[in-house]
Amino acid sequence: MVSRRVRDIEYAIRDIAVIADQVKKKGKKVYHLNIGDPLKYDFKTPKFISEALASASHSGKNFYADSLGVYELREEISKFLKHKDNLDITSDNIVVTMGVTEAIYFLLAAMIEKGEELLIPGPTYPLYINNTKFYDGVPIEYELNEQDDWEPNLDDLRNKITDKTQAILICSPNNPTGVLFNEKKVKKIIDLAGEYNLPVLSDEIYDQITYERNYVSPASLSKDVPVIGMNGFSKAHLMTGWRLGYIYYHDPENKLLDLKEGIAKLARARLSASSIAQYAAIEIFKTKSNHTVEMVRKLRERRDYSYKRLRQIEGINCVNASGAFYLFPKLDLSGLKKWKNDKEFAIDLLKKTGVCSVYGSGFGKYGEDHIRLTFLPELSILEEVYNHIEDFVR
């Protein structure tokens, strides 16, 4: 027997990879633009971080760590949040997790009962839909308006708040659209959450990967509304496989005490995140390095090239990315009549050209008629990719 929870799970980002493996077995070159993993390309984990991991192991840090996270690491995260966002978050208000993925599991397990709702920006990272359903909740997508550069539609958000709503999620810079939300819009979401006595969840994993504008933390805009931040080391510090993230609580009026205790219980039940990864991560805060700045410089060049090429392809329109490393072009399927929907387009593109994108409907109803592409590869690879797409569409 298989449970309903497992049967209903869909994850387009990895599901398309199964088809890519089949294409690869037939001898065709595959361009993996589906997975947001910089380390699959010419980005490398900084040497000092890898050396810190080895040092932690050699010095005997191979034991189970504190379930909430190594104290020294939580102290460094606390200092970092103060420096970066001017937030006063003590180490007691930080939980180290196995990536943001586990942070999402923890939060939704602790917040969602059967039939309760989570407001999610749509299009959305599929894990929020999957996990809300996994815990018998109902994911409600509020519109990100493509005509307004994928900014949140605040009227739509307000109209979807009910007495079953448990929280409002902000994901900025956004996956899959690559857009950094306008600071004024974020402040209005926080004010709206306060009006309805709701907490805000903030997915901040791409906060250090922005281009024209700097990131502003939602918690820094909130005086009294609880904001629960989720962040980690995977993207900005090129440590995707290390699976290291954290939750922090901005809780000015102590409204989250029960939630915090519930998540602490979950953390204790799974023992701990990797001890040596945590001790290595401490060195990130103590060592001066420009690896993130250099990564963003390279990504900006690749974004600019990708956006330029997409705009030149008839039948495809695209909003430029202001953060993260994704573009989310729209397909004019009324003109591209060969394909009935975005999934059919993406699979056919993969089989005919080897270009592996992700079909937009895998990111919720607002993702329909789109595909998601990363711009992580080197320019020479991106040139091949867009030549293939251009020929395929023509």
Instruction: Give the CATH number of the domain where residue 129 resides.
Output: 3.40.640.10
Q: Specify the pLDDT at position 97.
A: 98
pLDDT at residue 142 greater than cutoff 80: yes
Buried b (16+ CB within 10 A) or exposed e, 260-292: bebbeebbeeeebbbbbbbbbbbbbeeeeeebb
Q: What is the mean pLDDT of residues 179-198?
A: 98
Q: What is the pTM of this model?
A: 0.95
Q: Report d(CA 302, CA 263) in Å as an integer.
A: 39
Evaluate whether 58 touches 381 at the Cβ level (below 8 Å): no
Q: What is the mean pLDDT of residues 321-343?
A: 92
Instruction: Give the CATH number of the domain where residue 316 resides.
Output: 3.90.1150.10
Instruction: Looking at the structure, tell me whether residues 264 and 143 fall in a common domain.
Output: yes
**Average pLDDT of the residues of the chain:** 96
Q: Specify the pLDDT at position 325.
A: 98
* Residue at a domain's end among 230, 252, 286: 286
Percent of the chain scored above 90 by pLDDT? 93
Q: Which residue has the tokens 């939602």?
A: 218
pLDDT at residue 213 greater than cutoff 90: yes
Residue 375: what are its φ and ψ, rounded to 5°? -115, 40
Instruction: Looking at the structure, tell me whether residues 14 and 27 fall in a common domain.
Output: yes
Evaluate whether 183 touches 196 at the Cβ level (below 8 Å): no
pLDDT at residue 10 greater than cutoff 80: no
pLDDT at residue 124 greater than cutoff 80: yes
* Residue at a domain's end among 243, 269, 286: 286
Task: Please tell me whether residue 211 adopts helix, strand or coil conformation.
Answer: coil
pLDDT band, very low/low/confident/very high, at 8 (cuts 50, 70, 90): confident
Q: What is the mean pLDDT of residues 111-139?
A: 96
Instruction: Looking at the structure, tell me whether residues 280 and 145 fall in a common domain.
Output: yes
Nearest to 140, CA basis, from 151, 124, 154, 153:
124
Evaluate whether 283 touches 267 at the Cβ level (below 8 Å): no
Strand partners, 331: 316
Instruction: Looking at the structure, tell me whether residues 335 and 356 fall in a common domain.
Output: yes
Instruction: Looking at the structure, tell me whether residues 74 and 163 fall in a common domain.
Output: yes
Instruction: Looking at the structure, tell me whether residues 279 and 332 fall in a common domain.
Output: no
- Residue 394, Cα to own-chain centre: how many angstroms? 33
* Residue at a domain's end among 252, 286, 320: 286
Range of the domain at 29: 4-43+291-393
Residue 246: what are its φ and ψ, rounded to 5°? -160, 155
Q: Specify the pLDDT at position 250.
A: 98
For the chain, the maximum distance between any two Cα atoms, rounded to a whole number of angstroms, is: 62
pLDDT band, very low/low/confident/very high, at 334 (cuts 50, 70, 90): confident
Q: Specify the pLDDT at position 253.
A: 95
Instruction: Looking at the structure, tell me whether residues 62 and 18 fall in a common domain.
Output: no
Q: Specify the pLDDT at position 14.
A: 74
Q: How does pLDDT run across 88-114, given as a tens digit for each residue? A: 999 999 999 999 999 999 999 999 999
- Whether the ω angle into residue 123 lies within 30 degrees of 0, i.e. cis, is yes
Instruction: Looking at the structure, tell me whether residues 296 and 353 fall in a common domain.
Output: yes
The length of the chain is: 394
pLDDT at residue 368 greater than cutoff 80: yes
Query: Which residues have CB under 8 Å from 288's CB, separation 6+?
Result: none
Total number of domains constituting the chain: 2
pLDDT at residue 11 greater than cutoff 90: no
174 or 16, which is more confident: 174
Q: What is the mean pLDDT of residues 146-171?
A: 98
Instruction: Looking at the structure, tell me whether residues 264 and 372 fall in a common domain.
Output: no
- Which secondary-structure segment (H or E) carries 326? strand 326-327
Q: Report d(CA 52, CA 72) in Å as an integer.
A: 14
Q: What is the mean pLDDT of residues 234-250?
A: 97
Pairing of strands 138-145, 117-122: parallel
**What tokens does 370 get?**
């789109």
Task: Please tell me whether residue 252 adopts helix, strand or coil conformation.
Answer: coil
Q: What is the mean pLDDT of residues 167-196?
A: 98
